[in-house]
Amino acid sequence: METSAELLTPRRNTRQISVGKVAVGGGAPISVQSMTTTKTADVEGTLQQIYQLAAAGADIVRCTCNKAEAAEGLAQIIPRSPVPIVADIHFHVEMALAALEAGVDGLRLNPGNLRKPSEIKLVAQEAKDRGVPIRIGVNAGSLHPDLYERFGGATPEALVESARMELDYFREVGFDDVKISVKASSVALMIASYRLASETFDYPLHLGVTEAGPLPGGLLKGTAGIATLLAEGIGDTIRYSLTADPVEEARAGRMLLESMGLRERKGLDLIACPSCGRAEVDVIAVANAAQEALKDRNLPIQIAVMGCVVNGPGEARDADLGIAAGKHRGHLFIKGEVVRVVKEDEMVEALVEEAERLVAEGVEARLAAADPKAAAAAEQDRLALLEDKGTDANKSQVKIESIRRRTEA
Ligand code: SF4
């Protein structure tokens, strides 16, 4: 019999914040996070990994923002990401400000690394002005040396005190749009620290065992720490930190929540792009229509609804099947390859038909049955759209120039 969430300790009450479209805390579904391993300046590679992570179950994805090129990459990635993007900041205040400029949905600050109160307050003020939440990401391995000394090591009290001090700086500028993590690579220390954090704060908690290592040990450590706390009602969002393909992190997070009855199981997995400046159709309407048409068919595949043929098939190349819009036509693609071009008003019908055939006949057979003219038609539409809207449909260049002024100053 499956475990039901009702048999676990009721979830602790926390405040609710919003990381982009994802609510965290305050009874919202526990969200899964992961982090890209690509260079953030590699826009296409990073987006492709973000789509893979989203497909594997990540609700929020974090990208490092360690240099100006990474911030410029974020300005181009964010409008095209299917999930909210959080920027990971370590030492440089300019990178936090540049990431905000790029339009991130959240920041993660490590109080052990960004230490100057004036800089911390500057970031908090800017985040407040832009309505962007911050995770206070305390890490036992990079605890502020003063706290290490005061508490005689990285103890649960020291980790929680680090978060409290950061909160105090934030509150000085009237900012508390915050979630908190107190991670450690020791499972026991992590559990004790989060228990104390949960008694001390009512902010949402982001759970994780840091640097848990490769599989299978990393998975076991992560599960030991995260599941123990979840069973006690502690935790609002989770991340496995594995020395592995980050897809494994997202998958593990999702499976853990499903196995504990904290998230519903997925049957058909429908993903949709966020619909940026390139979109050629009302993506939400098409995705809703597709969802409605497919909902009772119980097809165990992933389907992507993408707003444009310029980037859609590439971004969602890991989806089993997808549809991308372009020039009043729908481009059906399987594993990133366009196999058929249909009229725009026949997109959903064609998608449902192809989904059924794909499940019945398999990927190879459906790729072999592709319309030989489809790829050329897709390329034609892609080029026409690029000509219509140029290469910067999301006006990322304006943000990039602003980031450059800031980081070069
Ligand atoms: S409209 Fe195109 S570029 Fe924009 S997010 Fe959708 S698929 Fe990506």
Alpha-carbon span 281 to 38, nearest angstrom: 30
Measuring from atom 2 of ligand 1, which residue has the nearest CA?
A: 308
Res 264 pLDDT > 70: yes
Domain 5-259: which topology?
A: TIM Barrel (3.20.20)
Eight-state DSSP code of residue 209: B
Under CATH, to which class is 269-389 assigned?
Answer: alpha beta
SS3 content of the chain, % helix, strand, coil (to 5): 45, 20, 35
Asked if residue 80 has its Cβ within 6 Å of ligand 1, the reply is: yes
Asked if residue 278 has its Cβ within 6 Å of ligand 1, the reply is: yes
- The per-residue pLDDT for 217 is 92
Res 4 pLDDT > 90: no
- HEC string of 132-191 equals CCEEEEEEHHHCCHHHHHHHCCCCHHHHHHHHHHHHHHHHHCCCCCEEEEEEECCHHHHH
**Strands 237-239 and 134-139, sheet pairing:** unpaired
Q: Which atom of ligand 1 is nearest to the CA of 274?
A: 5
> In Å, what is the CA distance from 392 to each residue of 17, 41, 76, 173, 398?
31, 16, 9, 36, 10
Ligand 1 centroid–CA 276 distance in Å is 5
Measuring from atom 8 of ligand 1, which residue has the nearest CA?
A: 80
Res 265 pLDDT > 90: no
Asked if residue 382 has its Cβ within 6 Å of ligand 1, the reply is: no
CB neighbourhood size of 80 (10 A) = 26
Q: Which atom of ligand 1 is nearest to the CA of 310?
A: 2
% of the chain beyond a pLDDT of 90: 83
Ligand 1 centroid–CA 178 distance in Å is 30
- The per-residue pLDDT for 408 is 83
Residue with tokens 């980050």: 246
Ligand 1 centroid–CA 284 distance in Å is 12
Q: Can you name the residues that pair with 325 across neighbouring β-strands?
A: 330
Alpha-carbon span 203 to 13, nearest angstrom: 9
- The per-residue pLDDT for 197 is 98
For residue range 181-195, what is the model confidence (pLDDT) as tens digits?
999 999 999 999 999
Asked if residue 314 has its Cβ within 6 Å of ligand 1, the reply is: no
- Give the residue, out of 310, 331, 385, 388, with the most ligand 1 atoms within 8 A of its beta carbon, to mutate for a pocket test: 310
Q: Which tokens belong to 240?
A: 């496995």
User: Contact, 136 vs 188, CB < 8 A?
Assistant: no
Measuring from atom 7 of ligand 1, which residue has the nearest CA?
A: 312
Res 303 pLDDT > 80: yes
- Give the residue, out of 315, 389, 396, with the most ligand 1 atoms within 8 A of its beta carbon, to mutate for a pocket test: 315
Asked if residue 184 has its Cβ within 6 Å of ligand 1, the reply is: no
Residue-averaged pLDDT of the chain? 94
Asked if residue 396 has its Cβ within 6 Å of ligand 1, the reply is: no
For residue range 338-355, what is the model confidence (pLDDT) as tens digits?
999 999 999 999 999 999
Intervals of CATH 3.30.413.10 along the chain: 269-389
Asked if residue 204 has its Cβ within 6 Å of ligand 1, the reply is: no
Res 22 pLDDT > 90: yes
Mean pLDDT of 391-405: 91
- Confidence category of residue 267, pLDDT binned at 50, 70, 90: low
Alpha-carbon span 157 to 338, nearest angstrom: 56
Intervals of CATH 3.20.20.20 along the chain: 5-259
% of the chain beyond a pLDDT of 70: 98
Asked if residue 179 has its Cβ within 6 Å of ligand 1, the reply is: no
- The per-residue pLDDT for 295 is 83
- The per-residue pLDDT for 212 is 84
Ligand 1 centroid–CA 241 distance in Å is 29
Res 266 pLDDT > 80: no
